Amino acid sequence: MRYSGTRRSTSFAAGLCLVASASQAVAAPSCVGDGNLKPDSPISVATVAGQGRVPFVKDASQDPACPSTAAACREAAYLVSGNVVVVGAALGDYACATYVGAKGATRTGWLPQSALAASTAPVGLDDWAGTWTNDAEASIVIRRKSEVVALEGSATYGTLDPDRVRRGAINSGEFSADVRPRGAMVGFTQGDNGALPYESGDEFACRVRMKIAPPFLIVEDNGACGGMNVSFTGLYRRR
């Protein structure tokens, strides 16, 4: 069968439109674990407001119809008025929120934005100071030194595994740097003679960036700050 030139060009143009539409599509944000919390992404702190329980809402990866007000989207886990959360991505009427329990364990899920009262407190140098820990095997001590912050990090892999402890198969890592914050952010690369700017230095050197959102500290490293599986990446609270 023969096609006229006009029909062929129309079909080709329609194909281009479909390709363009697909390339412009943006995937909806996910809210599973605390992987949505990155130092270079929008992060804020909020307090659960109102009365009664505020249940977490399922992610689309758990049910394509969620998050929504449907009963099937409500989870058993919930927060109550006064609980403080760190908020990352937003999707419609919902915010991806992470709550840190008294023992350091975290719980992440969608919460209605109407149930959250955002914090507007400014961040100062003194907000960095303290000993920060996550729910894994890492801690970061931060001290203020005039207009810079002194960072001392230590982490291990395997101390929570009795078998690895018995075999002495524990990996460790550490970093030390004096850095001047840029607002709520700090970042550095470890050099032979001290800290370098985050974007500088050897590509295989330990590289860390942090964002302060009191009472939380969000940290991300490049996986080169210690032995195998040692990581500082995660959500921290003051000990």
* Choice among 39-43, 64-68, 222-226 with the minimum mean pLDDT: 39-43
- 80 located within any domain: yes
The total of structural domains in the chain comes to 2
Q: Which is more confidently placed, 192 or 150?
A: 150
pLDDT in tens, 125-184: 999 999 999 878 999 999 999 999 999 999 999 998 999 999 999 999 999 999 999 989
Closest to 93 measured CA to CA, from 75, 76, 72, 70: 70
Indicate which CATH number applies to the domain containing 62: 2.30.30
Averaged pLDDT score across all residues of the chain:
87
Do both 112 and 139 map to the same domain? no
Do both 133 and 227 map to the same domain? yes
Q: What H or E segment, with its residue span, contains residue 106?
A: strand 106-112
Do both 134 and 178 map to the same domain? yes
Do both 62 and 157 map to the same domain? no
Task: Kindly list the distances between the CA atom of residue 188 and the CA atoms of 169, 191, 221, in Å, as whole numbers in the listed order.
Answer: 29, 9, 10
Q: What H or E segment, with its residue span, contains residue 132?
A: strand 130-133
Question: Pick from 70, 94, 118: which residue ends a domain?
Answer: 118
Exposure letters 218-239 (e unless 16+ CB within 10 A, then b): bbbbbebbbeeebbbbbbbbee
Do both 111 and 139 map to the same domain? no
- 11 located within any domain: no
- 64 located within any domain: yes
Q: Which is more confidently placed, 186 or 194?
A: 186
Do both 129 and 234 map to the same domain? yes
| Cis amide prior to 29 (ω within 30 degrees) | no
- 59 located within any domain: yes
pTM reported for the whole predicted model: 0.81
pLDDT in tens, 11-36: 333 343 333 433 334 567 889 877 67
**Alpha-carbon span 187 to 182, nearest angstrom:** 9
Q: How many other C-beta atoms can be found within 10 angstroms of the C-beta atom of residue 170?
A: 15
How sure is the predictor about 122, in pLDDT bands with cuts at 50, 70 and 90? Answer: confident
- 23 located within any domain: no
- 28 located within any domain: no
Closest to 49 measured CA to CA, from 74, 76, 80: 80
Instruction: Indicate whether 56 pLDDT > 60.
Output: yes
**Alpha-carbon span 79 to 116, nearest angstrom:** 11
How sure is the predictor about 94, in pLDDT bands with cuts at 50, 70 and 90? Answer: very high
- 12 located within any domain: no
Tokens of 44: 């804020």
**C-beta separation of 195 from 177 below 8 A:** yes
- 177 located within any domain: yes
Exposure letters 142-153 (e unless 16+ CB within 10 A, then b): beeeeebbebeb
- Domain, as residue range, for 229: 125-238
pLDDT in the model for residue 27: 66
Mean pLDDT of 58-70: 95
Residue whose token pair is 């990090």: 153
Do both 104 and 134 map to the same domain? no
Do both 108 and 131 map to the same domain? no
pLDDT in tens, 199-224: 998 989 999 999 999 999 999 999 99
Our CA angle for 27, 29, 32, nearest 5°, is 130
**C-beta separation of 165 from 237 below 8 A:** no
| DSSP SS3 for 233 | coil
